[in-house]
Structure 1
Amino acid sequence: MTAPPAAPRALRILLAEDDDAMRALLVRALSRAGHTVVEVEDGFELSDYVEMMAGQGGSLEPPDVIVSDVRMPGCSGLEVLARLRRRGLTCPVLLLSAFADAETHAEAQRLGAHALLDKPVDLDVLRAAVVDAGGAA
């Protein structure tokens, strides 16, 4: 008799999204999937969080996965991803964008994004991408 598949482990997710309604929807979807979500509302807060992460001299543990909008006030998701990689941090990053063109997709891939998902994002696709990224960490 085969054992049932194990449930995906709960992940710590840092979510950066400047649209309040979209952020609330994403937090709800990821939380209901059993994950712990820390939310920030723009690129300024995302950048500040990254600066305070352990490994950067800060006290915050890096999340298992970062989910970030590409276009936000302050730093864009791509800028924060570039900063993470320059500092040698390998935390998987999923980017979301309603305006992603081929150049944005290429830049995300070059910087090592786990995935760039187009908005409106299918929540099942997002949940699967988060689990996949968390397993790659």
Structure 2
Amino acid sequence: MMPVDTKPTVLIVDDEVDIRLLVRAILESSDVGVEVVGEAVDGDDALAVFGTLDPPEVPDVVILDNRMPGKEGLDVAAEMLGQEPRQNIVLFSAFVTPEIEARAQALGVRACVGKNDFARLPELVVALSR
């Protein structure tokens, strides 16, 4: 849980640099104020960066793409949640099907957001960080 006077913290995981830059810009420029504490380019990188942070306090939320080279996002989510069951994870993918949503929910992923719905991210991050 985040103290009232601090910004929510986020780790962004996506293999596309333009998506990472867009998500960072949206989060950091939002009225709610979100701090991006790390970025990762694939599943292995995400797990390495996650290991250097102090979950679940930092990051408050992991925004995780599902389709990446190497490990898919849901496999990364399973590993992160295995290490820290209280970690808030948002699956952020262009390909969100009912099957992916069901699998994500079964793992403990907090939300699934389509990449066309990125404007929801700041408020979702704040809601999950409380």
State the TM bucket, normalised to the shorter chain.
Answer: 0.7 to 0.9
Q: How far apart, CA to CA, are the structure 1 residues paired with 2:79 and 2:17?
A: 25
- The equivalent of 1:22 in structure 2 is 19
CA root-mean-square deviation: 2.1
TM-score, with structure 2 as normaliser: 0.83
Q: How far apart, CA to CA, are the structure 2 residues paired with 1:77 and 1:96?
A: 9
- The higher-RCO structure (CA 8 Å, 6+ apart) is 2
Q: How far apart, CA to CA, are the structure 2 residues paired with 1:80 and 1:93?
A: 10
What's the CA shift for 1:87? 2.6
Q: What is the SS of the residue equivalent to 2:116?
A: coil
1:17-51 deviation line (CA, Å, top 9, x unaligned):
11111111100111112221121222221021233
- The equivalent of 1:36 in structure 2 is 35
Q: Does 1:126 align with 2:125?
A: no
TM-score, with structure 1 as normaliser: 0.79
- The equivalent of 1:114 in structure 2 is 110
Q: How far apart, CA to CA, are the structure 2 residues paired with 1:98 and 1:126?
A: 14
1:43-70 deviation line (CA, Å, top 9, x unaligned):
2210212334447xxxxx7311111111
The amino acid that maps onto 2:35 is: T
Instruction: State the structure with more CA Rg.
Output: 1
Q: What is the SS of the residue equivalent to 1:122?
A: helix
1:78-126 deviation line (CA, Å, top 9, x unaligned):
1111112223431100111111211100000001111000121231x11
Larger helix proportion, structure 1 or 2?
A: 2
The amino acid that maps onto 2:124 is: A
How many residue pairs get aligned? The number is: 123
* Contact persistence 2:62–2:88 (CA under 8 A): yes
What's the CA shift for 1:8? 8.3
Q: What is the SS of the residue equivalent to 1:106?
A: helix
Q: Does 1:45 align with 2:45?
A: yes
- In structure 1, runs of 5+ residues without a counterpart are 1-6, 56-60
